């Protein structure tokens, strides 16, 4: 029986959870298009080397969390743990560099083998937005504006704070790295085993450590702001000025860093305290060295990703789905007429249900359980008269409507208060009609 359950760390999304999920995606897609981004979809698995290069062979994601397998051809493949590497690969292999700046967005599933907890799954979903080919700080501000607009339109911006920092250019990072190495070398006995390894390969990753002993050393560690050169300071000041001009509140968080060498300049996270320990709902930064490190030309880039599940947990009740119209044909001629009417209503964007069997009372009950607002009842008598009985299921009122006017009548009734019961004698008492 256990094999019929979802795999640990995965889940089925349906009902209210699916409505929340879809609401987040729809808002994001609308905004991304308004901001001039083009949609992209990349494969959910790539050659493992794509992620080893971009995430670092010693990172926790690569060493502990990736779902990696050998396919029948002997190739080593990995289910994507994040979006940016695949988009960067697509930018290179798809010849997008010839088109200049690319503004790309997408969403889809990611996979990491980590301990499942609130808001975190082994298969999870992310929104992603990237600007590749733009070195100017205005691109960073544009992406931050998109992120803030998304959070605002979802109605959750009042519970989220932007944390913003500068990682500087390569010259600044090298100076900072040297200072960190010297500091942690003086405290090597207090470091965790993992951080001793990080000290040799990438000391900046120690700043992300969750080990209590490592974290006790962080308050006195050097801060990157003290090692920024003039160019890096000017870049960050421009970003901050742009954020201020847009009215986006932020905190200059000097402990916010990225451990990999291809990151530069802007780093940011949108953080909430409404999800417990899983506080970051959206994060990103500039990665000017990524594509060059992957074997392409020197190409600037900046982007962010956001967890759909985490955003969905924060939003209020999303808008209810469109109320349905249920078609109830009674008889062969009525069923043919109902099929045509259903097609036309659906083509007009109206949620339309069809019921195929049972007596009138049972069909009306099923329509009510499906939360239909209206029932359109057609029998042989209605076919002969070119009419439909329109029943308001919320208030048990009904009226006759000419077939040619049904479309407008349905739209008006879905948007208006319930109708008065003005049914003529020809409109039969449909509740009592027990046709087989």
**Residue ranges of the domains in the chain?**
2-169+229-314, 324-427
Quickly state the pLDDT bin for 432 (edges 50, 70, 90). Answer: very low
- Domain 324-427 in this protein, CATH class: alpha beta
Whether the CB-CB separation of 164 and 252 falls below 8 Å is answered with yes
Annotated binding site for L-histidine: 82-84, 112, 126, 130, 258, 262-263
- Domain 2-169+229-314 in this protein, CATH class: alpha beta
Buried/exposed code over 274-297 (b: 16+ C-beta within 10 A; e: otherwise)? ebeebbebbbbbbbbbbbeebeee
Nearest to 89 by CA among 243, 299, 323, 251: 299
Which tens digits make up the pLDDT trace of 231-263?
999 999 999 999 999 999 999 998 888 877 788
Q: Of the ranges 71-80, 161-170, 234-243, 276-285, which one carries the lowest mean pLDDT score? A: 276-285
Helix/strand/coil percentages in the chain, nearest 5:
45, 20, 35
Whether the CB-CB separation of 128 and 103 falls below 8 Å is answered with no
Question: What is the pTM (predicted TM-score) of this model?
Answer: 0.84
Annotated binding site: 82-84, 112, 126, 130, 258, 262-263
Give the dihedral sign, CA 241/243/244/246: positive
Q: pLDDT value at position 261?
A: 72
- Of all residues in the chain, the percent with pLDDT exceeding 90 is 57
Quickly state the pLDDT bin for 312 (edges 50, 70, 90). Answer: very high
Q: pLDDT value at position 255?
A: 84
Residue 219 to residues 184, 254, 273, 376: CA-CA distances in angstroms?
12, 11, 22, 69
Q: pLDDT value at position 412?
A: 87
Q: How many CB atoms lie within 10 A of CB 422?
A: 10
Nearest to 246 by CA among 429, 35, 435, 51: 35
Tokens describing residue 278: 């899983």
Residue 340 to residues 18, 303, 374: CA-CA distances in angstroms?
31, 48, 17
Rounded (5°) CA angle 305-111-7: 135
Q: pLDDT value at position 62?
A: 63
Q: pLDDT value at position 342?
A: 92
Q: pLDDT value at position 77?
A: 94
Looking at the DSSP assignment, which residues form a beta bridge with residue 79? 45
Shared fold status for 2-169+229-314 and 324-427: no
d(CA 234, CA 236): 5
Nearest to 289 by CA among 316, 258, 310, 320: 258
Residue 44 DSSP one-character state:
S
Q: pLDDT value at position 278?
A: 57
Quickly state the pLDDT bin for 56 (edges 50, 70, 90). Answer: low
Which tens digits make up the pLDDT trace of 392-430?
998 889 999 998 989 888 888 887 554 444 343 333 343
Q: Of the ranges 52-61, 149-158, 311-320, which one carries the lowest mean pLDDT score? A: 52-61
Q: Please give the distance of CA 184 from its chain centroid, rounded to a whole number.
A: 38
Coil, strand, or helix at residue 36? coil
């Amino acid at each position: 029986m256990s094999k019929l359950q979802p795999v640990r760390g995965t889940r089925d999304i349906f009902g209210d959870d699916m409505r929340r999920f879809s609401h987040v995606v729809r808002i994001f897609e609308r905004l991304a298009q308004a901001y001039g981004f083009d949609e992209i979809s990349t494969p959910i698995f790539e050659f493992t080397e794509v992620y080893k290069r971009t995430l670092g062979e010693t990172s926790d994601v690569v060493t502990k969390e990736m779902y990696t397998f050998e396919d029948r051809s002997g190739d080593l493949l990995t289910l994507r743990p994040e979006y940016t590497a695949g988009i960067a690969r697509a930018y290179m292999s798809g010849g997008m560099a010839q088109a200049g700046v690319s503004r790309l967005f997408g969403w889809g599933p990611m996979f990491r083998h980590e301990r499942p907890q609130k808001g975190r799954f082994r298969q999870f979903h992310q929104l992603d937005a990237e600007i590749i080919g733009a070195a100017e700080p205005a691109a960073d501000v544009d992406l931050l504006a998109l992120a803030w607009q998304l959070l605002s339109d979802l109605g959750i911006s009042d519970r989220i704070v932007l944390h913003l920092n500068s990682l500087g250019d390569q010259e600044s990072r090298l100076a900072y790295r040297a200072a960190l190495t010297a500091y942690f070398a003086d405290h090597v006995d207090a470091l965790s085993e993992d951080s001793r390894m990080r000290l040799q390969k990438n000391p900046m990753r120690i700043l992300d450590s969750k080990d209590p002993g490592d974290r006790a050393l962080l308050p006195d560690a050097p801060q990157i702001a003290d090692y920024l050169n003039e160019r890096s300071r000017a870049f960050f000041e421009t970003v901050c000025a742009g954020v201020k001009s847009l009215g986006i509140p932020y905190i200059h968080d000097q402990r916010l860093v990225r451990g990999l060498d291809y990151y530069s300049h802007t780093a940011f996270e949108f953080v909430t305290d409404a999800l417990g320990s899983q506080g970051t709902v959206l994060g990103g930064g500039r990665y000017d060295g990524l594509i060059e490190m992957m074997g392409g030309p020197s190409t600037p880039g900046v982007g962010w990703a956001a967890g759909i599940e985490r955003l969905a947990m924060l939003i209020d009740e999303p808008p209810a789905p469109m109320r349905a119209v249920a078609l109830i044909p009674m008889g062969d001629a009525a069923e043919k007429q109902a099929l045509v009417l259903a097609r036309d209503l659906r083509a007009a964007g109206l949620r339309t249900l069809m019921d195929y069997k049972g007596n009138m009372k049972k069909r009306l009950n099923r329509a009510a359980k499906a939360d239909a607002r209206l029932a359109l009842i057609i029998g042989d008598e209605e076919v002969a008269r070119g009419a439909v009985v329109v029943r308001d299921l919320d208030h048990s009122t009904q009226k006759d409507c000419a077939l040619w006017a049904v479309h407008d009548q349905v739209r008006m009734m879905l948007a208006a208060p319930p109708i008065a019961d003005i049914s003529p004698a020809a409109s039969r008492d449909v509740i009592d009609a027990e046709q087989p």
